[in-house]
Each structure stands twice: as structure tokens, then as C-alpha cells.
Structure 1
Amino acid sequence: MKSVAISAAALAGLGLLGTVTAPSQPASADPVPADAGRADPADGKSRPPAEEVLQLGSHGSSVTWAQTDLNHHGYKVTIDSHFGPKTQAAVKAFQAAKGLTADGVVGPKTWAALKAKPTPKPTVPSTGTLTDAQARQLLQQAGITRRSTQGCTEQGEGCTSYEGIRARTVQGLIALKKASGCSFVVTGATEPGHESGPYSHGTGYKADINLDTCQDNYINAHSRFLKNRSNGDPVRIGTLPGGISAEYAKEADHWDITFR
């Protein structure tokens, strides 16, 4: 005699069994990861409610979010989930532009600024000269700040002023920052106290930046020796993105750069 297998669901349908309930599943031996279900930023899904503090050496999905946010704000970094030197430099530039402490650490204040909607960035005029306020805004949004021996920004001895700086010079500083990926500070611009001439600080062609190993390496690798000044300072010349000519004179404590 043949036996016929009848499922529990079929018997229930015939009224021969009560309500059929699925057997309970055994509890998983492994806990569910805290970030389970976290969407990749590229998916456009909701982000986690809170992000961890990030710094050089951090890695993981929170770094991916930070790198994505940096790109949204115009700071181009590779989205690879690793917080390396270039991501740190971009974070410092972003922090400086937002008036935050530029320490390269992504904490609550930096996260809040990163998650905010990017504001439209003013464009650098192609020609002419700029006021101090115009140049400051354009340079600051690129992560370039300034300092002076007297802590002032007006047209005075010991100050660092942008008043009357050429648009081409501002373009050059921004191009140098983006091309090198290095952080630097403007230590001299159009204020009095520099040598005069047709291509001088006073006419808006020059800007001084601090010496730094990162910047030194970039300039030496992307320029050629031109001459020595009468005092022995070496001068190099190169071309930045956008076809901007840059003449770099290395002085005792800064680079004196002429942009044309």
C-alpha cells in the first residue's frame, strides 16, 4: 500500500488541524553588527544618526561618509574609506574655510559643518584687482589663511593685506593649493614694506607663503631653476594649472612668489 505525504498546511485547509504556526528560529550565535544596514553614501540612503570621531589612520564607513561630504563641498579626495594624509589635508582646509579649529580631526562641529548644505562658492574674477574682503573670502573658501607679525590685515607695516591684489595672483594661490595638496599660509601680499617695481607686492603680482616640506617638495618637482638673485636666493619658474606662470624665490623664512 502506498503512503501519501500530506503537508500540515493541506491538513489545516481541510479543517483537520488548527492554525499552523511556523517553528521558532534559534537565536543567532553571532550578534548583529552595530552598523548593520548602514547604506553606502553612493546609494543616497539615510546616513547613521551619529558619526564617530575621525582622524589620521581611521577607516571604515564613517570615513566614506566624511570623504563623500568633503567632495560635496568641493574638496576633492578619493573615496576609499581610509583617512590618509590627503583626506586630513582636505579636512584642515575645510575647517579653516568654516572658521573651525584646523586640526584635521573630524569631531561633532566638523561633522555638523560637513552635513550642512554646501553654499554656492563665488568665482574668482579673471582680471582686475580685488578688495581685501573679496580676496579673503575667495582664499579662505579654498582653505588658505593668512598671518602677520603684527596680527593686522590693513595696509600697514607688519600687516598682511590683500587690498588691491590681482585676481590672477589669487587664482595662482588657489591653483597652487589644489595642485600641491599642501596646506600653507599667506604671510605677505600688498602691504607696504616690500621692494617696489612693476611686478611687486605693491602692484598685486606677488604673495609670500610659509616654508613647508610638503610645499617645498611640490615646487621643486614642478619647476626649474631660473637664476640666483644678487643676494644668492634661488629662483625657480613653473606653470600651474590654468596656464598661470609662477616664479618662486626661496627666501630665509618664506617663498616669495610672482604670479603672471
Structure 2
Amino acid sequence: MSSGQRGSAVKAAQVQLNKYGYGLAVDGDFGPGTHAAARDFQDDKGLAVDGIIGPDTWRALVSGSGGGSGGTGGKLTHSQAAAMFTSAGISWSSSGDCSNRDNRTCTSFDQLRRATAEGIIALKRASGCAVHITGGTETGHAGGTYSHWNGYKIDFAPYSCVSGHITGTFTYLGRRSDGAALYEAGTGDVYAREGSHWDAAYTG
């Protein structure tokens, strides 16, 4: 199926695309948004990027198979991650009111690991608290394998509700060399209480 088509098959494709965080309206109309999502998905999976949902693309949508870096360990675009967060009721902001990954004043989700996005969403659901993201994959954070730039970390505001959930539920590990208190979830995710925010590392 391709641009301009309408019907139940398009609705089914939109449902499948939304499982990857695209946030499309399931209206059965293969419009520009669905076309762009299909192209982005194909690019992520290493498929021919034509915006047409043929047998190979449909198979990858349903099974999560295909080339590229898709699946639970795959990387997201900023818009994909933003759609996932909006759907989960998670807000975010940046000091520069922007999302450019190469600008340290922005908050970008470009190249965020899907597992990281799912980790912060799981925290939101488990705690029942408001979660407000203040840092993503933009430049300016500390380096390393499990870094913000590589999509493993995310920063969020230390609201009392979510902070209480972390300190009251997770295992206290002691303090990091810079003095940040460390807490580990049962999943192995580690939360560091830095000066103005929580720094969460989703390395699983």
C-alpha cells in the first residue's frame, strides 16, 4: 500500500507503525504522515526506502525483523521518541527551546535507544508520578560507552514524587566519585541524583 490509499489495510499498517512510537492517527488514510513514518521505519530496518508498505516492510513491521538497528535495542529519531513520551504523559523541555543534537542547549532524543525510552516510560508508569525530561542525547554530557550521546542516558527533573519513588523503592548503592547518590532498580538501571536533576542510565 502507498500514498493516497485508504481503508482497513492502511489502518492496520498505522497500528503497526504506532508500536514503534510514530503516534499516527489510525484513520485509514495513507497521507504524508504515514508515508514519512513508513520511510523512516524502512530506513531504520535497512529496507528499501520508498514509503511503500509492501511484503518486506509489512513483514518487518509485524515481526520486528529486518536489517538496521530496529527492535528493542534500536535507535529512535527525535520525533519517534517524542511521540512515545507524549503518549505516556511524559513532558520535556530544553534551555534553548530546541532539539538539535549538536547544540548543548537543546534537549534532543535523536539516536536515543528504544530501551532507554521504554525505561523512562516504565518508571513513569510504576511510580504514577509526573516525569519531566531535561536532557537527552545532545552534546555536552560526559562521554563513555553508556553515555547520553550513545543513547543510554536521560536526565529528568527531581520532582518530589518521582524522587521519593526512586529513593524508597530502589537499592542505594552509595555515592559516585562526584558525590551523586546512586540507586539501582531491579532491572539493573541506575539512577544518579545529580545537582539539578536525576541522571538515569538504561544499560540493559
TM-score scaled to structure 1, two decimals?
0.51
- How far apart, in 1, do the equivalents of 2:149 and 2:131 lie? 21
The equivalent of 1:141 in structure 2 is 87
- How far apart, in 1, do the equivalents of 2:120 and 2:163 lie? 15
- How far apart, in 2, do the equivalents of 1:200 and 1:126 lie? 18
Runs of 4+ in 1 over 6 A off after TM superposition: none
SS at match of 2:167: helix
- How far apart, in 2, do the equivalents of 1:165 and 1:212 lie? 23
CA offsets 1:138-179 (integer angstroms, 9 cap, x no match): 111101121011111111111000000001000101100100
Deviation at 1:123, TM superposition (A): 2.1
The equivalent of 1:188 in structure 2 is 135
Deviation at 1:135, TM superposition (A): 0.6
SS at match of 1:207: strand
Matched, 1:123 2:19: yes
Letter in 2 for 1:145: S
Matched, 1:256 2:203: no
The equivalent of 1:175 in structure 2 is 122
CA offsets 1:71-130 (integer angstroms, 9 cap, x no match): xxxxxxxxxxxxxxxxxxxxxxxxxxxxxxxxxxxxxxxxxxxxxxxx958224422111
- How far apart, in 1, do the equivalents of 2:167 and 2:124 lie? 15
The answer to which structure has the higher helix fraction is: 2
The equivalent of 2:26 in structure 1 is none
For structure 1, the residue ranges without an aligned partner over 5 or more in a row are 1-118
TM-score scaled to structure 2, two decimals?
0.64
Matched, 1:209 2:142: no
- How far apart, in 2, do the equivalents of 1:139 and 1:209 lie? 13
- How far apart, in 2, do the equivalents of 1:129 and 1:196 lie? 18
Percent identity at matched positions? Answer: 36
SS at match of 2:200: strand
SS at match of 2:116: helix
Letter in 1 for 2:190: E
Letter in 1 for 2:138: E
- Equivalent pairs counted in the alignment come to 138
**Which of 176, 184, 188 is 1:229 aligned to?**
176
RMSD: 1.6
CA offsets 1:173-225 (integer angstroms, 9 cap, x no match): 11001000001111001000000000010110000000111001100122111
SS at match of 1:245: coil
The equivalent of 2:62 in structure 1 is none
- How far apart, in 1, do the equivalents of 2:82 and 2:100 lie? 12
Select the structure of larger CA radius of gyration: 1
Matched, 1:162 2:109: yes
**Which of 160, 168, 189 is 1:246 aligned to?**
189
- How far apart, in 2, do the equivalents of 1:123 and 1:178 lie? 17
For structure 2, the residue ranges without an aligned partner over 5 or more in a row are 1-13, 21-70
